[in-house]
Chain A
């Protein structure tokens, strides 16, 4: 091993670090895993999708500008409004904030990269490929056409026989992989990779917002993924989850969709609110007022937003008391939102605000978002919702919330952080003109639309009669829409001009106090030549020379060791360093893995199931191959990190990022399973056509044997860790073989049970039972893989008493599989007894 280089000049240190952290040029750029590169790519791709969604919106407004318009026929119109919503929600809003988070988080937190660079790259490619499926479908005229929420039975095979709905279900599920990947990466990075000394109370508010958002994504997205899988299985194999004639229920889709869909609004809003909490105090020249209360409000919003989903379903015939629960929660959620708005206003009025370009957009946000919030409270009142449901009033409301709560703050963010991206300052006057065009155009479009809706114009109609009083309102809305588009076009021109003619930006142009400004702009590949020691919420304001000191290597890890990409891991509460995190370099593996995943999804779309299986297998092989060469073959113990401190590499630490990532992935996985159980129970209690004619008729033997296998696997997996510590590799390997044996036994029992389930096309009971068993079986199968992988890593020398991360991650999987599998077995064995009685 090389020894640590002595301190050098900033230029020499920069060259050494750059050699380790840089991304290759040419085709090699496709192997990039660096967060700065990936963040930029995410943002640019999201903006391209935003432009496409904007063009679709213009087509909608052109169609609705006059009554009896022949511009678009109903078939095309259906595809266009569906794709507008889909593109804006799934391909613009979420990826845009992910891009901002991926670019900004390590810089804001004082780290050199995100926790899982290759996962970030994989997520990016999945996003681009999944989005491309939807765009290609639009280009060839088979785009989704059932509305962006794909309600059944309209989206079921009977009413959408083509592949339009399949494109949505498969394309969006593909993109969701990217969202879950990003969520895991964001959460783990925030908890484990902040600068030393940055305890939770000193963490920038944007990180708090992103932490809660990431957790919400882990819990909020799985219901939609499950719903998409179930609907696709119904469409492809006729398993009747949503068919009321065979024990299914279309409302189950609405529940699963809105379980995702309403938190989604807050998943979009919270990062934008984090942007406001970051920019506003800087431009107001006053520290944020109410830091602790804002943190509590974010947490409250994160939870309460999951109690609102049924307010999208007030008109479907749910009992009054259930409506009252959701109505109460819908009103309640205004309080934590209000706390934040008042904190921002208090900060603004306590400081000396500067009317810079980002501030224009922040003021625009206040007006638009508060108006949208107020109409949201109106819609939370059940009798009013009954009147306004499915009208253009709701369209106006959701645009006020989403454009006000996301687009305006993101425009502020663009102007605020563009000097960081480009190293140049904006061209001032053009930006202001663009703002006014967007602001006036937006309000002209959507303020009037409230009235159109109150006058009874329903959503999703491609034309209307001339004598209903909607003509002039629609015409003015359309004119407003085009004015807004001109504003966005001017914004693009402004950025192009900034890139070409903007004057060079000073290092900290806004006099901000967060760490992303303690580096050169555009930022170097490694962010910080040395990692800072943070002692307050305003590290840059506390030490104006911080950037120069870090550039000269004064701080943690201000050197290159063994050519490793090193950054620090910390105790998640106190911020005390507890490990060196070794990150991987550029590789094409994420790209190949995403392509293989793409083969799987496209094959499903084409009903080429053999090819789909090959794609799935290839994806697993490629994903497992990420670990080749990863890890350490010998113990290192604590290594010096600077400032007289020493900590071990993450492979030898107790809570490394990959362990936490597995925990959070299992949280998402558990949510998906819970949603499946909810679906099964919901159908039993609510759906028509129950009880089914045939139930699973089994004795206790098979479930008991399967349960024994699962428990054996979990206990043996735990034992392998103990043996590793106590008796060495041979006995540990034997326990890993026992783990695999337990999973094999469980898998055999589960496969046999699936064979005994009545025909899944006959009734939703059989379909849900089979789905639960397949879920458990899949986990047992992967458990065999985990056990085999742990065994292989042990034999290859990557595992020791200290370096037992592979086995600990495996243990998490075996434990989860045991619990989920037991619940599944109890459910499939017990439910028929309850139904029968």
Chain B
């Protein structure tokens, strides 16, 4: 049994969207915390503390997704010559992670422009 056909690969297919879920939840939670604690009134350089916290959460998840995508690419390359189901699993993981990266980018984009606590 190779590693690319282990049940772990099922997890790899959904890992990207688990990170998206984490990003989404933490962004919503951080916004609520920040607004509750008045972070929007505390400036850190050109942005408020609230916006900075959100950007950090967002960027952290994007970085994690970037690393995962890199791993998926490598795994896919290593498994091109293998038969099914390894090829299917690695392709699905790669596609799913790419979609999750786009989803995280898109849903977090309003952080850069929209007012935080109004």
Contacts and interface: CB of A to CB of B under 8 A. Distances in A.
Interface in B76-102: 84-85, 87-89, 91-92, 95-96, 99-100
Contacts of A322: 28, 31-32
Contacts of B106: 328, 332
B10 A201 contact: no
B33 A685 contact: yes
Interface stretch (A136-144, A169-177, A295-303): A295-303
A300 B85 contact: no
Interface string A675-705: 0000001100110000000000000000000
Contacts of A682: 32
Contacts of A571: 1, 5, 7
Nearest to A324: B110
A660 to B, nearest CB: 10
Interface string B98-118: 011001001111110011111
Contact of A321 (B9, B31, B84): B31
Contacts of B115: 319-321
A573 B6 contact: yes
A574 interface: yes
A329 B95 contact: no
B89 A321 contact: no
B20 A299 contact: no
Contacts of B117: 319, 321
Given A307-B24, A573-B6, A300 B35 contact: no
B62 to A, nearest CB: 15
Given A319-B116, A573-B7, A686-B36, A303 B21 contact: yes
Chain B CB within 10 Å, residue with most, of A201, A202, A321, A329: A321
A319 B89 contact: no
Contacts of A325: 24, 27-28, 31, 107-108, 110
A574 B92 CA distance: 15
A73 B109 CA distance: 49
A336 B18 CA distance: 17
Given A321-B31, A322-B28, A322-B31, A574 B1 contact: yes
Given A292-B95, A296-B99, A299-B96, A324 B114 contact: yes
Contacts of B72: none
Nearest to A536: B84
B99 A573 contact: no
B110 A574 contact: no
B98 to A, nearest CB: 9
A574 B27 CA distance: 38
B13 interface: yes
A573 B85 contact: yes
B53 interface: no
B17 A303 contact: yes
A479 interface: no
A200 interface: yes
B73 interface: no
B52 interface: no
Interface string A139-160: 0000000000000000000000
Nearest to B97: A296
Contacts of B91: 292
A123 to B, nearest CB: 25
B85 A574 contact: yes
How many chain B residues sit at the interface, stated as a range, is: 35 or more
Interface in A293-331: 293, 295-296, 299-300, 302-304, 306-307, 319-322, 324-325, 328-329
A63 to B, nearest CB: 40
A373 B13 CA distance: 27
B14 interface: yes
A321 B114 contact: yes
Contact of A319 (B31, B33, B92): B31
B92 A685 contact: no
Contacts of B5: 199, 571, 573-574
Contact of A292 (B36, B92, B99): B92
Contact of B10 (A292, A306, A572, A681): A572
Nearest to B109: A328
B9 A573 contact: yes
Contacts of A304: 17, 20, 103
Nearest to B88: A201
A201 B93 CA distance: 13
A211 to B, nearest CB: 10
A201 B54 CA distance: 39
Contact of A199 (B18, B84, B103): B84
Contact of B92 (A296, A332, A681): A296
A203 to B, nearest CB: 9
Interface in B27-86: 27-29, 31-33, 35-36, 54, 84-85
B47 to A, nearest CB: 13
A675 to B, nearest CB: 12
7 interchain residue pairs of minimum CB distance: A324-B110, A201-B88, A303-B17, A199-B85, A685-B36, A201-B85, A328-B107
21 contacts: A200-B10, A293-B95, A296-B96, A303-B21, A303-B100, A304-B20, A304-B103, A319-B35, A319-B117, A320-B115, A321-B110, A321-B116, A322-B31, A324-B110, A328-B106, A328-B110, A332-B103, A332-B106, A572-B10, A574-B1, A685-B32
Given A304-B103, A319-B118, 6 more contacts: A296-B96, A302-B17, A320-B115, A573-B10, A573-B89, A574-B1
Interface of A: 199-202, 292-293, 295-296, 299-300, 302-304, 306-307, 319-322, 324-325, 328-329, 332, 336, 571-575, 681-682, 685-686
